[in-house]
């Protein structure tokens, strides 16, 4: 299934690229519905979801490849896809049949959007919760069928609050807009407000969710599963930037230069070092995911040490990807300044790098691991 899904993504490359270029040229803040429909009909939104609900349930390495392929074609389409795929997989794996039979009706993985930070409050109400809150970064909300949000519960006095993720039909959400940004502009990552009743079976506990279906991969939990989409996206955008930069460097000369950019020894050094560091980071990232996946198969999917390695490798990959696109932007001159694929990659990488999952918290956690006293032997 993995190679089949990857081939479908490749077949859509020109369609996705054209949609991304059109959105960039017009300044649109949401994707053309046609490109969303094309990805949906190809089954790409089911990349990460369990097979039991109609998803592909691909191994992590193959998920990375699918997300990278779509992001290579366009960063905004790739971001919306990976965000929607990730959101769907959570509820497909961690919710009971009473809800998933409705959400995945007919074995079809829907388009999901939402911010899962605990920006809401969930007050127990009968067999569910009254969720109220205002959220940002609802990537893909412009074309989603379901929208989610994170919340702390407000339990009776003396009981412990829980951090839960909750999902509801988009019709129950008020979309507020507010998406005037440098990169990832067409992702419709709008602010939104929720004041709705959510049945308990459309929610799950964030830190240690029960796996109702799917393989051990889902025991890795919300954060590590989300990192899969982010890293696949980063790989794709940076690879596109490299290819676009190479084409410019081989065909263009800087003003008063004796030859094309690719012949300049300074460019050759800077470019080789930047790409080498990025490829080394990608290797570590894939290795960290592989080890986490192996641990999940062995029943240790929530190993915090392996999770720390995944998160730090994700931050490193993002930073080295930024270094690549900055190097190319600086060397390719006005060709990178003008609207085009390389400029899109530059803007989108700077947008994606601001996400908390690849932020500076990860290096500090990794440092804690490196500096920890050895356990007594």
CATH number, residue 122: 2.40.110.10
> CA 334, CA 293: separation in Å to the nearest integer?
44
pLDDT band at 30 (very low <50, low <70, confident <90, very high): very high
Classify residue 211: in a domain, yes or no. no
Question: Which runs of E-coded beta strand occur in 57-127?
Answer: 112-125
Cα 106 to its chain centre, rounded Å, is 26
- Given a cut of 70, whether residue 58 has pLDDT beyond it is yes
How many residues does the structure list for the chain? Answer: 377
- Given a cut of 90, whether residue 80 has pLDDT beyond it is yes
66 and 134 part of one domain:
no
Starting at the earlier edge strand, list the strands of the sheet with 146-153. 173-177, 190-199, 128-138, 112-125, 146-153, 163-169, 203-205
Classify residue 376: in a domain, yes or no. no
Backbone φ and ψ for 184, nearest 5 degrees, come out as 55, 35
Cα 186 to its chain centre, rounded Å, is 15
> CA 102, CA 69: separation in Å to the nearest integer?
30
234 and 348 part of one domain:
yes
Place of tokens 């800077």: 270
237 and 188 part of one domain:
no
pLDDT at 254: 87
pLDDT tens digit string along 131-169?
A: 999 999 999 999 999 999 999 999 877 889 999 999 999
30 and 159 part of one domain:
no
pLDDT at 246: 98
Q: What is the pTM of this model?
A: 0.96
With beta carbons less than 8 A apart as the criterion, state whether 189 and 137 touch: yes
53 and 97 part of one domain:
yes
> CA 44, CA 56: separation in Å to the nearest integer?
9
200 and 225 part of one domain:
no
- Given a cut of 70, whether residue 46 has pLDDT beyond it is yes
Domain end (from 87, 107, 127): 107
Which range is least confidently modeled, 122-126, 255-259, 341-345, 360-364?
A: 255-259
Domain end (from 205, 226, 253): 205
pLDDT band at 193 (very low <50, low <70, confident <90, very high): very high
Domain range for 170? 114-205
246 and 327 part of one domain:
yes
Report the pLDDT averaged over residues 97-117. Answer: 97
- Given a cut of 80, whether residue 2 has pLDDT beyond it is no
Backbone φ and ψ for 89, nearest 5 degrees, come out as -65, -35
Report the pLDDT averaged over residues 173-178. Answer: 97
pLDDT at 156: 79
267 and 319 part of one domain:
yes
Classify residue 343: in a domain, yes or no. yes
227 and 327 part of one domain:
yes
Of residues 19 and 2, the one with the higher pLDDT is 19
CATH number, residue 315: 1.20.140.10
Determine how β-strand 146-153 pairs with β-strand 112-125: parallel
Mean pLDDT of the chain: 96
60 and 83 part of one domain:
yes
361 and 305 part of one domain:
yes
pLDDT at 256: 85
For the chain, the domain total comes to 3
171 and 238 part of one domain:
no
CATH number, residue 36: 1.10.540.10
Report the pLDDT averaged over residues 80-85. Answer: 98
Domain end (from 62, 80, 107): 107
- Given a cut of 80, whether residue 377 has pLDDT beyond it is no
Of 57, 52, 74, 73, nearest in space to 5 by CA = 57
Report the pLDDT averaged over residues 39-50. Answer: 98
> CA 13, CA 163: separation in Å to the nearest integer?
39
pLDDT tens digit string along 316-346?
A: 999 999 999 999 999 999 999 999 999 999 9
pLDDT at 1: 66
């Amino acid at each position: 299934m993995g190679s089949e899904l990857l081939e479908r993504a490749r077949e859509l490359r020109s369609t996705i690229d054209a949609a991304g270029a059109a959105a960039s040229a017009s300044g649109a803040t949401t994707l053309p519905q046609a490109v969303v429909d094309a990805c949906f009909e190809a089954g790409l939104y089911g990349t990460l979801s369990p097979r039991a609900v109609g998803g592909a349930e691909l191994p992590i390495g193959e998920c990375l490849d699918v997300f990278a392929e779509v992001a290579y074609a366009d960063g905004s389409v790739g971001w919306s896809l990976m965000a929607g795929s990730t959101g769907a997989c959570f509820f497909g794996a961690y919710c009971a049949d009473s809800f998933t039979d409705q959400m995945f009706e007919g074995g079809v993985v829907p388009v999901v959007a939402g911010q899962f930070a605990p920006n809401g409050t969930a007050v127990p109400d009968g067999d569910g919760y009254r969720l109220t809150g205002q959220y940002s970064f609802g990537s893909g909300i412009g074309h989603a069928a379901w929208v989610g949000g994170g919340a702390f519960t407000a339990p009776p006095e003396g009981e412990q609050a829980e951090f839960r993720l909750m999902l509801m039909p988009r019709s129950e959400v008020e979309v507020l807009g507010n998406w005037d940004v440098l990169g990832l502009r067409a992702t419709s990552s709008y602010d939104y407000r929720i004041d709705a009743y959510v049945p308990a079976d459309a929610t799950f506990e964030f830190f240690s969710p029960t796996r109702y279906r799917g393989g051990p991969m889902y025991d890795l939990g919300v954060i590590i599963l989300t990192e899969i989409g982010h890293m696949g996206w980063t790989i794709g955008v940076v690879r596109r930037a490299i290819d676009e930069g190479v084409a410019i460097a081989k065909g263009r000369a800087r003003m008063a230069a004796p030859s094309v950019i690719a012949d300049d020894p300074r460019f050759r050094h800077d470019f080789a070092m930047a790409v080498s560091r990025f490829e080394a980071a990608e290797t570590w990232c894939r290795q960290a995911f592989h080890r986490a996946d192996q641990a999940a198969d062995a029943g240790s999917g929530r190993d915090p040490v392996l999770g720390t390695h995944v998160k730090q490798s994700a931050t490193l990959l993002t930073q080295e990807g930024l270094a690549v696109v900055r190097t190319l932007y600086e060397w390719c001159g006005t060709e990178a300044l003008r609207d085009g694929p390389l400029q899109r990659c530059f803007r989108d990488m700077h947008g994606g790098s601001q996400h908390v999952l690849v932020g500076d918290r990860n290096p500090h956690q990794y440092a804690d691991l490196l500096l920890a006293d050895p356990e007594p032997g």
